[in-house]
Amino acid sequence: MSHYPDASATGFSFRKSSYSGGNENCVEYALGLPHGVAVADSKNPSGPALSFTAAAHSAFIAAVANGEFDFGLL
C-alpha cells in the first residue's frame, strides 16, 4: 500500500464509483496505475489517497461483497 498526502497532486485520473449514488460521501478510484488501484474520498479532493495492488484491491472488493464489513451500523 502507498499513501499520497494530496490526491489532487498525484496526477491520477479519479472518478466516482458507479455504486456511490448521488450523495457527497463517495469513494473515488483511479485505475491503470503501474502499482494497482488508488482510492480517495470525494468530499476531500486534496486529502489523502491510498493505492493498493490489484490483488489487494480485488480481495477488499470481494470482502465487501461478502458482507465482511457489515457490522450492523446502517
pTM over 0.85? The answer is: no
Kindly report, residue by residue over 30-66, the tens digit of the pLDDT. 988 888 899 998 888 899 999 999 899 899 889 988 9
Region 8-33 average pLDDT: 82
How many distinct structural domains can be found in the chain? Answer: 1
**72, pLDDT greater than 70:** no
Whether residue 57 is contained in a domain is answered as yes
- Asked whether 4 and 49 are in contact (CB, 8 A), the reply is yes
Alpha carbon distance 32, 45 (integer Å): 19
Establish if 74 belongs to a structural domain. no
Task: Name the H helices within 1-74.
Answer: 54-65
Q: What is the pLDDT of residue 18?
A: 76
Higher pLDDT: 32 or 2? It is: 2
Q: Is residue 73 part of a domain?
A: no
Range of the domain at 40: 2-65
